[in-house]
Amino acid sequence: MDEQSLTGFYPHILEQAANAVVVVDENDKVILFNSAAEQLWARARNEVLGAGISQLMPPMKEGQQTLMPGQSELDHLVGHNVELPIERPNNTRVWAEISVSRIQAEDETMRLVVAKNITLTKVHKAFRYQVLRAMAQTDSLTDVMTRLCQEIERIAPEISATVVRIDASGHLRPLVAPDFPSEHACLIDGIEIGPKISSQAIAAFRGEPVLVRDIEHDPGWYIGRQETLALGYKACWSVPIKTHEGSTIGILSFYYRVCRRPNKLHARLAEIAVSLCVLAMERADAFARIHHLAFFDDLTGLPNRSLLQIQANQAISQATRNNERLAVLFIDVDRFKQVNDSLGHPAGDILLRTVSARLREAIREVDILGRYSGDEFVIVLTQCDSVHAVELAGRLLAVLSAPCRIGEVTLNPAASIGISLFPDNGRDMDALIHEADMAMYQAKQKGRGCFSFFSGQLNQIAKERLTLETALRDAISSNELEIYYQPQINIESHQLHGVEALVRWNSTQLGKVAPERFIPLAEESNLISSLSQWVLNEACRQLAQWRQHGFAIPSISVNLSPADFQNLNLKLPQYLEAILRSHGLQPGDLLVEITEGVLMDSNPGTMRTLHEIHALGVRLSIDDFGTGYSSLGYLRHLPVHELKLDQSFVRDLDHDRATRALTNAVMHIGDSMELTVVAEGVEHPTQRNLLKAQGYQIIQGYLFSPPLPPTALERWLDENMSFTQWE
């Protein structure tokens, strides 16, 4: 067919066009109204033809009412695409996109109106806008979802919309159902997704929309069927809400009051709603994750310090209001660092998780538990007095000490607990935690696995401790420490056996501080390794210098702390080797004094270090021998070279037979194992004589010399080592 012959078909073409076509004459009377126009305006052609165009269009803007001859009401629309609302006689409204053009036919100017129904697009835009606006206004997922359902119901009043979530274990969790009574949620809550039961469960199971057209007669067993029917709902269409990765996280359902299927509008609404649900749910999850990260400890899942503080403060406010008491427990895992250092951080993590789980098990629902830092936990016991606190602390220590298997190793975890009470010890949480911390510290000193209550005296001690710690830190860095040297004499050969290096601190601020006071402090406050390094270096430097100056000093003994062996960062053997080398000394020039505490350390790292030091050629000496609780059997397996009889035995020698029997036994042990035995703290000739009679050869004590500064020791050597008579 050519164009010429097509002309005859124009009326048919117009009639069948998808868009509404309206033609008006120069008097604005409708002269053509196609079938799409009938549908759009919901009006029959014969009603409209011959009538004015104004009945089809919304009123024009003011100021444009008077028309000049030859003008049309539609002229202001010519050349534009406009979106206009169209009110229909059946009281419904549609949106149309309208374009108007002038057409010239012979000497008459007509207007051609082409209109397209854009209601769906328009509705969707508005819908999306409303829901997004809700999202911007509130963080609450329930509020956003409620708005979403309400918007759906506003656009399509025949729908009652609901949203359920699917939890991690695959169960339905009702989220919103604005049109339903709240009891309805209980019917759905906890339903497992599966091929039956409810349209939601099935939709979640299949991952695709499910229509139950007739709830009453649906063959699948339908939980809450009667209740749903009683509310007047007959059909339900459920659409899965899927993430971008394709997992179903929820279900959007449209309930209908008649048995039916969704229409095109419903399908479009569902499509948009589902994409908005994904957005809102993922956003809520992200918020929850951020919240969790900000307030919970990743490792143990417990509240972190911030949340703990918040919860604890709430507990205090409540206790104040109700005139109740509460207790704060500060719990520190014993020897945690050791586990971390020797078994590695993953093992440390397992221990912390075990401890936190055991603590959680042991407390009541109303109590507050949080991870304070590292290996420290805080529990706030509400409505709790000192009696209950003691009870619980005892129980906690017991449950914590149950064996815990980590890989190949079985540990018996222990903790020290400090307790402070509200309102007796303080009225705010910071103070109470601080006091419980101090009490915990005291518990640690009592021995591991103990608890202790806070007292005012403790506070004073803690303050002094802090001053001392700060001063000691400065002393180490500013060379305020010195070393005194005490000679050890061989009373058989009358020769100098060696010297022991003993650190001294004459603080400008605090005066003389005894090593018994500052060494334990250094051990607890992590200052010990810098102190030990300083002493080792200085003692070796001094020995090298003495040798250069011609003083025949066979060896130097340096005291090290258990902590030095637990500190794997220090790499003690390598450090010793480097120090000796830097001062031009031989490994045999140095003895390292350790206490039985080091030897009793079950830590495999410590044993390795001892063997490495021995292999290096540096000798090991057991200080204060006889005061520890260890069995003698272990001595056989250790690379030890020397025993130092503890001073307390020497002190009691001349008036206590039992002590004499003990010192005799120590001598025999040393002899039989071919170890050098040194008696220290010898002050009187009677003590020396008794020891000598038992076979002791090496003596250290005031009888010969107190520890001396280097120059004084040089004088002492000059004066005394030339004599051979020591009796």
Cβ of residue 591: shortest distance to ligand C2E, in angstroms? 11
Q: Which one of ligand C2E, Mg ion, none is in contact with 75 (Cβ closer than 5 to 8 A by kind)? A: none
Q: Which is nearer to Mg ion, 499 or 572 (CB)?
A: 499
β-pairing, 404-406 with 409-411? antiparallel
User: CB 339 → ligand C2E: shortest distance, Å?
Assistant: 23
What tokens does 162 get?
A: 């609901």
Q: Which is nearer to ligand C2E, 634 or 702 (CB)?
A: 702
Which of helix, strand or coil describes residue 515? Answer: helix
In whole angstroms, how far apart are CA 605 and each of 334, 407, 568, 612, 615? Answer: 17, 16, 8, 10, 15
Whole-Å CA distances, 8 to 13, 109, 189: 10, 22, 66
Measured from the CB atom, the residue of 174 and 498 that comes closer to ligand C2E is 498
Select from ligand C2E, Mg ion, none the partner in contact with residue 20, using the beta carbon and a kind-dependent cut-off of 5 to 8 Å.
none
CB of 401 to ligand C2E, least distance (A): 30
Point out which span in 30-38, 104-112, 484-492, 556-564 binds Mg ion (CB under 5 A).
Answer: 556-564
Name 380's Cβ contacts closer than 8 Å, sequence gap at least 6.
308, 311, 312, 315, 326, 327, 328, 329, 367, 368, 369
- Residue with the two structure tokens 């179903």: 248
* Residue 389 touches which of Mg ion, ligand C2E, none (Cβ within 5-8 Å per kind): none
**Structure letter (DSSP) for residue 57:** S
Residue 621 contact partner, candidates ligand C2E, Mg ion, none, CB within 5 to 8 A by sort of partner? none
332 binds Mg ion, rule: CB under 5 A: no
Give whole-number Cα distances, 271 to 68, 207, 275, in Å: 49, 14, 7
**Whose Cβ is closer to ligand C2E: residue 228's or residue 486's?**
486
Q: Which is nearer to ligand C2E, 333 or 591 (CB)?
A: 591
Instruction: Decide whether 174 or 681 has the Cβ nearer to ligand C2E.
Output: 681
Token pair 């042991």: residue: 362
- Using CB under 5 A as the binding rule, whether residue 28 contacts Mg ion is answered as no
Sheet with 376-381: strands ordered across: 368-373, 376-381, 326-333, 415-422, 451-453
Select 151 or 596, whichever has its Cβ closest to ligand C2E: 596
Binding site for ligand C2E (CB under 6 A): 486, 502-503, 514-516, 519, 535, 559-561, 593, 623-624, 647, 680-683, 700-702, 707
CB of 692 to ligand C2E, least distance (A): 16
Q: Which does 426 bind (CB under 5 to 8 A by kind): ligand C2E, Mg ion, none?
A: none
Q: How far is the CB of 699 from ligand C2E (least distance, A)?
A: 10
Cβ atoms 597, 562 nearer than 8 A: yes
Q: Which listed option, Mg ion, ligand C2E, none, makes contact with residue 516 (CB within 5 to 8 Å by class)?
A: ligand C2E
Angle in degrees, CA 678, 545, 558, rounded to 5: 30
CA Rg value for the chain = 45
Q: How far is CA 162 from the centre of its chain?
A: 35
Q: Which stretch binds Mg ion (CB under 5 A): 188-196, 371-379, 615-623, 715-723?
A: 615-623
Q: Which does 560 bind (CB under 5 to 8 A by kind): ligand C2E, Mg ion, none?
A: ligand C2E
CB of 675 to ligand C2E, least distance (A): 17
Instruction: Annotate 382-425 with DSSP letters as a single string.
Output: SS--HHHHHHHHHHHHHHHTS-EEETTEEE---EEEEEEEETTT
Work out how close the CB of 530 gets to ligand C2E at its nearest, in angstroms, rounded to a whole number: 12
Distance between start and end Cα atoms, the chain: 142
Nearer to ligand C2E, 10 or 629 (CB): 629
Torsion of CA 59, 65, 68, 69, to 10 degrees: 50
CA distances 449 to 49, 440, 549, 595, Å, are: 99, 10, 52, 21
Separation of alpha carbons 253 and 602, rounded Å = 63
Measured between alpha carbons, how far is 305 from 287 in angstroms, rounded to an integer? 20
Q: Which of the choices Mg ion, ligand C2E, none does residue 396 contact, using the CB cut-off of 5 to 8 A by kind?
A: none
Shortest Å distance, C-beta 338 to ligand C2E: 18
Closest to ligand C2E by CB, 109 or 530: 530
Between 334 and 646, CB nearer to Mg ion? 646
Nearest CA among 196, 222, 198, 200 for reference residue 209: 200
Residue 535 binds what, of ligand C2E, Mg ion, none (CB under 5 to 8 Å, by partner type)?
ligand C2E
> With CB under 5 A as the contact rule, which of the stretches 146-154, 244-252, 621-629, 705-713 interacts with Mg ion?
621-629
- Cα 628 from chain centre: 40
Shortest distance in whole angstroms from residue 572 CB to Mg ion: 17
- Under the criterion CB under 5 A, does residue 624 sit at the interface with Mg ion? yes
Contact partner at residue 561 from Mg ion, ligand C2E, none, CB < 5 to 8 Å by partner kind: ligand C2E
Q: Which of Mg ion, ligand C2E, none is residue 28 near (CB under 5 to 8 Å by kind)?
A: none
Query: Smallest distance, Å, CB 446 to ligand C2E?
Result: 20
Query: Minimal distance in Å, beta carbon 353 to ligand C2E?
Result: 34
Instruction: Give the number of C-alpha atoms closer than 13 A to the C-alpha of residue 608, restricted to the C-beta side.
Output: 11
617: three-class secondary structure by DSSP:
coil
Q: Which one among 75, 297, 341, 623 touches Mg ion, defined by CB under 5 A? A: 623
- Residue among 515 and 617 whose Cβ is closer to ligand C2E: 515
Shortest spacing between CB 639 and Mg ion, in angstroms: 18
Residue number, 459 or 647, with CB nearest to ligand C2E: 647
Q: Cβ-count burial of 140 within 10 angstroms (0-12 exposed, 13-18 middle, 19+ buried)?
A: middle
Q: Classify residue 327 by its DSSP letter.
A: E
DSSP secondary structure string, 248-313? EEEEEEEEESSS----HHHHHHHHHHHHHHHHHHHHHHHHHHHHHHHHB-TTT-SB-HHHHHHHHH
Question: Crossing angle, helix 528-548 and helix 456-477, to 10 degrees?
Answer: 40
Shortest approach of Mg ion to residue 500 CB, angstroms? 6
Nearer to ligand C2E (CB atom), residue 370 or residue 681: 681
Between 277 and 539, CB nearer to ligand C2E: 539
* Least separation in angstroms between CB 539 and Mg ion: 12
Contact residues for 550 (Cβ-Cβ < 8 A; gap 6+): none
Q: Which of the ranges 321-329, 344-352, 551-559, 692-700 carries the binding residues for Mg ion, by CB under 5 A?
A: 551-559
Instruction: Give 67-96 as a DSSP string.
Output: PPTT--TTGGGBT-EEEEEEE-TTS-EEEE
- Of 332, 538, 593, 596, the residue at the interface with Mg ion (CB under 5 A) is 593
The CB-of-512 to ligand C2E minimum distance in angstroms stands at 11
Q: Cβ closer to ligand C2E: 392 or 519?
A: 519
The pair of three-digit structure tokens given for residue 17, joined into one six-digit string? 């066009």
d(CA 53, CA 142): 47
Quick one: 96 or 594, whose CB is closer to Mg ion?
594
Q: Residue 297 binds what, of ligand C2E, Mg ion, none (CB under 5 to 8 Å, by partner type)? A: none
Least Å distance between CB 502 and Mg ion?
7
Using CB under 5 A as the binding rule, whether residue 559 contacts Mg ion is answered as yes
Asked if 153 contacts 123 with a C-beta cutoff of 8 angstroms, the reply is no
The binder of 707, among ligand C2E, Mg ion, none, by C-beta within 5 to 8 A per type, is ligand C2E
Applying CB under 5 A, the residues found at the interface with Mg ion are 559, 593, 623-624
